Amino acid sequence: MPSRVNNGTDYQPTVEQLQVLQTASEFAYQIWESRTVSCQTFLRSYPLNSTLTRQQIDDLIQDYTLDENYQLADEIKVMSGLRHLRTLLMMRWIWQDALQTISLEQLTDELSEFADGCISFAKDYTYQHLVAKYGEPTFINEQGNVQIDDMAIMAMGKLGAQELNLSSDIDLIFVHQARGETNGNKAKGTRSIDNKRFMTRLGQGIIKLLDNKTADGFVFRVDMRLRPWGDGSDLAIHLSALQKYFTMHGRAWERFAWLKARVVGQIDQPFYEEIQALIKPFVFRYYVDYSAFSALREMKSLIQNQVAQREDLDNIKLGAGGIRDIEFIVQAFQLIYGGRHPQLQIKPCLQAMQVLCELGYLEHSTYEQLQAAYRFLRRLEHAIQAINDQQTQRLPHDEQWQHNLAVTLNFENWHALLDQLNRHRESVNVPFERMVTERQVPDNEDTDLEPEHLDEQIARLNEVLTKENREVLQNFWQSKMVANLSDEARGRLDDAYPVIVHALLAHQEQQQLANTALPRLISLLEAICRRSIYLVMIAENPNATIELIPMLSASPWIAKELAQYPVLLDTFLQQRYRHLPDKRELRDILRQQLLRVEPNDEEELLSVLRLFKKNQVLAVAASDVLAERPIMKVSDSLTYIAEVVLEAALERAFAEIVNRYGYPIGQDGDPVTEADCGFAIIGYGKLGGLELSYSSDLDLVFLHKIKEQGMTTGEKSVSGMKFAARLVQKLMNYLNTQTRDGRAYEIDMRLRPSGNAGMMVVSCHAFETYQMDKAWSWEHQALVRARAICGDRRVTARFCDIRRDVLSLPRTLDQVRSEVTSMRIKMQKHLGTSQWQQEAGKFHLKQDAGGIVDIEFLAQFAVLAYSHEYPSLTKWSDNVRIFAEVALLGIWDDQVCQDLTDAYLRIRAATHQLALSEQSLLVDESLWQETRALVQSQWQHLMGVETDDEYRNLYD
């Protein structure tokens, strides 16, 4: 029995109090039922009508982590003790909240103090064990003296503001002082490692003690995704790197996150002041900072999209008028005015809200409404989470729990609770929308969108439309679907219709364009009428809707995507295609979206990955259609999207498998880390060659540098090889699984060593051995278009070395010509046009002689034939830069390389347009005679074919 728990008469609750607990929480009541004596004893010492001080919390943590001899227990017992303590405290907090013997502020403060205490204990406990093994981490300070390197644990989010809820995860960032190494001494039984490794292991130890789920449960779910660069980056960052990140890479939305940052536990004052000196100028600007409003709109759009995706209209945190809206209102004002008013540089939401009212930035009536709504929503949030100790903000659908929730919160019934909830939501939504909404006005000042003039506009439209399309429009309005719309949805359709008519009339001079677009527009309307919030988007964006018409006309593929996934409409109406984000921006966009996904919510993770990809690909397609972007820019953008999805999927898959089995052992004998995970993804084909199109699959190979027979560090330990296989399986599941949002990408792994008969993931050594000793010539051709996509930098560097060495092997020209030609003949016979198609004058842009594959094979021929003499040819995996390098080196004439490049880009541009138009690559040969003849001529010249007949015979 812990020493500070009273062993006197046990606590006996009344029948009414037990009924309150049973009604409020199945989870807490089961604790009481299964551990009645322990609960009674605990509540005798810490009654329901009392609060805990931080000292009492620290004493409890100490008591529950001691062994029977009152010494600090081993790791297993420490983890068990912390989890038992958390269980008893959760029972107590839920009961107190249901009985209302504790205020909102008291409850969130106790929860936060307990988290702080557990974090501080976990840091000290892990630090002591690491120091015993490696010595203390040190660095050379500015005075040239050796100094101990400390780690500050930054609490973010609700914990940073000391507003933790009943089932919160804790958002943490680990910051240490500087690079250096530990003062380990072999003579004393310790060995030296660098500070980065020490701090990584310190962080891993803290996470393990708190987050690992055992038979006794967990203490806190730990979320590290807010750290600079997010998942996959170093677990701990040193001060100079953090300063550089804030200066060069910090995003507007990260200012909202760091606004709540707080150091947990004790660190040296100079270290604390250095951290604050970095955070304060990043978060708060001396001038009045209206750029925060833009960031606020971006973040709100992100959240609205995610709620719409899951149809999660019961989310009291992220839904309209929810907790997050209140926090955003307050935080936006803090960022805007906090530099001028230091009293706004506080973290708790309610306190900041009060200061905003005192300073006059919030009207008193608005303040009263917001703080009342915040208190109600937070109490409702606690009551929802108390039911089963789940990290959720969704209203229950089960009628019994709806009734129990209403009773717990002192409402007569569920409908009374919902009425109160909706009143609070509305009181929040009004000031929020006033802050972030910007409704478009038509560019043309003469445009009249008023409903009373709609008949006149429709009459003009009828003059533009064909008879068939007039009937399509009439049938839509007379359909059962429109007749059965709710009053709200019908009102939104009526508001949107003048904007739609105006958009069609804007293209009345191009009647064919409007008539082609109209049936596709009607299909889109039929889809979004069922989710009428999208009708509001159309009504509020008349100028963007005008540009929707030529896009629908140009691409049935785009039209179908929008109809099937209406959530993509926001991407277009916000005109995001006007600026295609680079790879860094794409990473940031996806990182923001993934921060809203709970670590164990695989369904939502798959949805976010798929909809991110669809949104970004749609933006590229819109830019392709409306802005006529060069094919190289289009393919670059599509490739960047795939790369960013693969990076994120690898990071999340690695984190999930590590959570299950622990870290595998690297080939250097130490466990791998998030930043150096021991794995890499290699892209082949179009991904490797930076040539992705709208419907491309991904050719992937997976490599590792871990000990295959070494066991992972987790309680449920597996071999490194099993870890690797399950990592790839999980990754494939993330990317390839068919969900309601489709697939992220089709994955093809047939190019791995030994093809379908080979292992899903192989070591770098095995890959090298296979390429050097066993690979066929066509596999070396494929390697020309391969490149490292993401993963451990050591693995990607090793792959680059292997690729260079393999491609640079000495080969004779005759040998390469023969092997490349042989493979080309096989491909054409299997994939090219048939005899009757040729007789009908058809030409396959990709597979036929004179098409894309001929050009690709010529590039591969050049690399394989000449890299032994010219190693720089191995630098590139894309055809355009290979031809540029060939010309630069003087291997082929400049004009030859330019002609091949021009032909290649011309044909690829056509394949993209055909994909958008959902048309086959089988085209009229007469339109491509000149380009085809040029490619055929160069093939004959470069591959040593003497006559046209001899060239044609290759394909007979």
160: domain CATH number?
Answer: 3.30.460.10
Strand (E) or helix (H) holding 297: helix 291-310
336 and 261 both lie in a single domain: no
pLDDT of residue 185: 82
The yes-or-no verdict on residue 288 having pLDDT over 80 is: no
Boundary of a domain, candidates 384, 400, 416: 400
Task: Please state, in angstroms and as integers, the Cα–Cα distance from residue 571 to each residue in 216, 586, 916, following that order.
Answer: 45, 14, 18
Write down which residue in 374, 400, 426 finishes a domain.
400
Please report, to the nearest 10 degrees, the dihedral formed by the alpha carbons of residues 802, 803, 809, 814 taken in order. 160
pLDDT at 259 exceeding the cut of 70: yes
825 burial via Cβ count (<10 Å: 0-12, 13-18, 19+): middle
Count the helix, strand and coil residues of the chain and give each as a percent rounded to the nearest 5: 60, 10, 30
Query: Considering the chain, what percentage of its residues have pLDDT values greater than 90?
Result: 65
Tell me: pLDDT of 279 over 70.
Answer: yes
Q: CA dist 273 to 226, 267, 560, 845, Å?
A: 21, 10, 56, 64
Query: Which three-class secondary structure state does DSSP give residue 267?
Result: coil
Average pLDDT over residues 930-943: 92
Q: 841: alpha, beta or left, given left = phi > 0 and alpha = psi -120 to 50?
A: left
How many angstroms separate the CA atoms of 488 and 811, rounded? Answer: 72
Cβ neighbourhood burial of 122 (10 Å; 0-12, 13-18, 19+):
buried
Asked, for residue 408, whether it belongs to a domain, the answer is no
Average pLDDT over residues 463-491: 91
Neighbour tally for 622: CB within 10 Å: 25
41, 44, 47, 51: CA torsion to nearest 10? -80
Regarding whether 767 and 665 lie in a shared domain, the answer is yes
Q: Which residue, among 313, 384, 432, has the nearest Cα to 24 in the 3D structure?
A: 384
Domain identity same for 777 and 685: yes
Give the domain range for residue 50.
Answer: 1-102
Cα separation, 588 vs 226, in Å, equals 11
pLDDT at 126 over 90: yes
**pLDDT tens, position by position, 33-58:** 999 999 999 999 999 999 999 999 99
Domain final residue pick, 233, 249, 283:
283
| Average of per-residue pLDDT values in the chain | 89
Cα–Cα dist 641/863, whole Å: 28
Q: Rounded to an integer, what distance in angstroms lies between the CA atom of residue 462 and that of residue 456?
A: 10
- One domain, residues 695 and 708: yes
879 in any annotated domain: yes
Per the structure, how many domains does the chain have?
Answer: 5
Residue 276: per-residue pLDDT:
95
- Name 768's bridge partners: none
pLDDT of 576 > 80? The answer is no
Instruction: Please choose, from the candidates 898, 835, 642, the residue with its C-alpha nearest in 3D space to the C-alpha of residue 747.
Output: 642
Q: 504: which 2 tokens?
A: 């069609």
User: Does the pLDDT of residue 591 top 60, yes or no?
Assistant: yes
pLDDT band at 540 (very low <50, low <70, confident <90, very high): confident
- Whether the pLDDT of residue 559 is over 50: the answer is yes
According to DSSP, residue 167 is labeled T
Check whether residue 816 and residue 927 sit in a common domain.
yes
Instruction: Give the three-class secondary structure for 335.
Output: helix
Residue 918, by phi and psi: left (phi above 0), alpha (psi -120 to 50) or beta? left
**Both 872 and 801 in a single domain?**
no
Model confidence over 619-656: pLDDT tens digits? 999 888 887 788 999 999 999 999 999 999 999 999 99
Starting at the edge strand found earlier in the chain, the sheet holding 137-140 runs 146-148, 137-140, 181-182
pLDDT tier at 341, thresholds 50, 70, 90: confident
Residue 899 located in a structural domain:
yes
**Residue 37: what residue type?**
V
Q: Provide mean pLDDT across the span 778-794.
A: 96
Is residue 237 over pLDDT 70? yes
Question: Contact at 8 Å (CB) between 533 and 308?
Answer: yes
pLDDT at 306: 53
Gap between the Cα atoms of 847 and 836, Å rounded: 16
Separation CA 896–CA 265 (nearest Å):
68
* Residue 905: how many other CB atoms lie within 10 Å: 17
- AA identity, residue 211: D
**Is residue 510, in this structure, part of any structural domain at all?**
no
Count of CB atoms situated within 10 Å of the CB of 249? 12
Q: What local confidence, expressed as pLDDT, does residue 309 receive?
A: 43
pLDDT tens-place string over residues 823-882 = 998 888 888 777 788 778 889 999 988 999 999 999 999 999 999 999 999 999 999 999
| 241 and 314 share one domain | no
Instruction: Give mean pLDDT, residues 102-117.
Output: 97
**Could you give the CA distance from residue 943 to residue 367 in angstroms, rounded to a whole number?**
78
Domain assignment present for 217: yes
Q: Within this chain, do residues 825 and 942 fall inside the same structural domain, yes or no?
A: yes
* Complete DSSP assignment for 780-803: HHHHHT-EEEEE-HHHHHHHHHHH
Predicted confidence at residue 487, as pLDDT, reads 86
Same domain, 756 and 835: no
Question: Is 665 found in the same domain as 614?
Answer: yes
Virtual torsion, Cα 42, 47, 48, 54, nearest 10 deg: -80
Does 316 map to a domain? yes
Q: Are residues 371 and 223 in the same domain?
A: no
Q: Does pLDDT of 105 surpass 70?
A: yes
> Is pLDDT at 292 greater than 70 in this prediction?
no
The answer to whether residue 8 scores a pLDDT higher than 70 is: no
Domain-located, residue 463: no
Look at 433 and 896; give whichever has higher pLDDT: 896
Does residue 296 carry a pLDDT above 70? no
Q: Of the ranges 157-171, 268-282, 425-439, which one carries the lowest mean pLDDT score?
A: 425-439
Residue 809 CA neighbour count, 13 Å, CB half: 17
Cβ density class 19-51: b for 16+ within 10 Å, e for less? ebbbbbbebbbebbeebeebbebbbbbbebeee
Q: Tell me, what CATH number does 316's domain have?
A: 1.20.120.330
445 or 722: which carries more pLDDT confidence? 722
pLDDT band for 311, please (50, 70, 90 cuts): very low
pLDDT digits (tens, 9 = 90+) for 733-754: 999 999 988 899 999 999 999 8
Q: ∠ CA(805), CA(811), CA(812), 5° rounding?
A: 160
Give the SS3 label for residue 199.
Answer: helix
Are residue 221 and residue 260 in the same domain, yes or no?
Answer: yes
What is the token pair recorded at 429?
Answer: 């939504």
DSSP conformational letter for 361:
S
Span 391-449, pLDDT tens digits = 889 999 999 999 999 999 999 999 999 999 999 999 998 888 777 665 555 555 445 55
pLDDT beyond 90 at 565: no
Q: Please provide the DSSP assignment of 30-68 as one string.
A: HHHHHTHHHHHHHHHHS-TT----HHHHHHHHHHTTB-T
Q: If pLDDT is split at 50, 70 and 90, which confidence band does 253 have?
A: confident
Query: Is residue 685 in some structural domain?
Result: yes
CA dist., res. 158 & res. 347, Å (int): 9
Q: What is the 3-state secondary structure (H, E, C) of 487-516?
A: HHHHHHHHHHHHHHHHHHHCCCCCHHHHHH
Place of tokens 């004439």: 893
* CA-angle at 472, arms to 446 and 522, nearest 5°: 65
Q: What is the DSSP string of 126-143?
A: HHHHHHHHH--EEEE-TT
